[in-house]
Amino acid sequence: MDTDRLKELAPHYAAMFLLVFVVLTIVQLAVGEIGFWIELAIVVVVVFAYRPLAIRLGIAPSGWR
């Protein structure tokens, strides 16, 4: 196991995890209670959008480029 790569990726996965909760909280505050499937769709969108966004911003780890 490449520990250097894990150390490089860990902050990004932690940020993605935090971002999911922040986005869900903002949506629930703006709209109110939402269903499970809509929450799941929001999580999927945030998770799949994080990597291209990180690459575009130039903050992605070297393994993602």
Instruction: List, in sequence order, the alpha helices (H) in the chain.
Output: 3-31, 36-57
pLDDT tens profile 5-28: 888 899 999 999 999 999 999 999
- pLDDT at residue 28, rounded to an integer: 95
- Kindly tell me the burial class for residue 22, based on how many C-beta atoms sit within 10 Å of its own C-beta (0-12, 13-18, 19 or more): exposed
Higher pLDDT, 44 or 7: 44
C-alpha 50: how far from its chain's center?
5
Q: Is the pLDDT of residue 37 over 90?
A: yes
The pLDDT of residue 20: 97
Contacts of 51 (CB under 8 A, 6+ apart): 60, 64
- pTM for the model: 0.83
